[in-house]
Amino acid sequence: MSKGTAPVEHPIHELLVERHSPYAFDPAREVSQADLSSLFEAARWTMSSYNAQPWRYIVGVKGRSQATWDGLYQVLLEGNQPWAANAPVLALGVIEKHFEYNGKPNKAATHDLGAASAMLTLEATARGLVVHQMIGIDPEAARTSFGLADSQEALTGLAIGYKGAPEVIPAQYAERDEGPRERKPLADIILAGGL
């Protein structure tokens, strides 16, 4: 098993074993337009409640859509800015809070955004890219900066790029990257029944 792979209890697909969310991004490597488009195509084809597809993304790419990247960087909470500064792509995950077909609240919207971002992340992993998702954003700043409608809510940030060396980020983040990958045992997440 290569460094950084998940120490799984049972066999799973290699993409899932390899996927992880580093803090260190290579500041010198750009993400191609083709790869980036494919990541969001993977998100587009995610399953959703009533096929509502309630996810929306705001995407900023250093050097290509710099003003958007800068705006997204400002929306990140202070604890995320030191390491996210190296990510060539920043994105914001936004939900449509109501179903378009009947205007009723969509209780599954946050779940569906998470599913779309997971599919995006797996596509990234297949292409040798990494994605670090974060809840540490200022939703009201995002609303103001990007003119979100009342029916929309910014929920998560995503940093996208290539894994970088630990020395490109402050030590406390590098230590997290170099530490062991851990999860609760499988038995702890099955509440009833059994496998």
Tell me the C-alpha distance between 146 and 157, whole Å. Answer: 14
Residue 46 has pLDDT above 70, yes or no: yes
Position 5 scores a pLDDT of: 85
Question: How far does CA 27 lie from the centroid of its chain?
Answer: 18
Q: Name the percent of the chain lying above pLDDT 90.
A: 93
Q: Say whether pTM exceeds 0.75.
A: yes
**Per mean pLDDT, which range of 22-36, 52-66, 148-162, 179-193 is the poorest?**
179-193
Position 124 scores a pLDDT of: 98
What does the pLDDT average to over 4-9? 87
Q: How confident is the model at residue 90 (pLDDT cuts 50, 70, 90)?
A: very high
Q: Could you tell me which residues come within 8 angstroms of residue 81 by beta carbon, excluding any fewer than 6 positions away?
A: 73
**Interstrand relation of 130-134 and 89-96 (parallel, antiparallel or unpaired):** unpaired
Of 90, 63, 86, 95, nearest in space to 74 by CA = 90
| DSSP codes joined into one string, 54-110 | -EEEEEEETTTSHHHHHHHHHHB-TTTHHHHTT-SEEEEEEEE-B-TTT--B-TTHH
Position 126 scores a pLDDT of: 98
Q: What is the mean pLDDT of the chain?
A: 95
Residue 184 has pLDDT above 70, yes or no: yes
| Contact indicator for 34, 127 with CB cutoff of 8 Å | no
Compute the chain's Rg from CA coordinates: 17
| Contact indicator for 60, 71 with CB cutoff of 8 Å | yes
| DSSP codes joined into one string, 101-142 | TT--B-TTHHHHHHHHHHHHHHHHHHTT-EEEEES-B-HHHH
DSSP one-letter code for 49: G
Position 2 scores a pLDDT of: 36
Position 1 scores a pLDDT of: 30
Q: Give the chain's domains with CATH numbers.
A: 29-162 (3.40.109.10)
Tell me the C-alpha distance between 23 and 83, whole Å. Answer: 6
Q: Which two tokens stand for residue 16?
A: 């899932």
Query: What's the order of all strands across the beta sheet hosting 55-61?
Result: 55-61, 89-96, 152-161, 130-134
Residue 3 has pLDDT above 60, yes or no: no
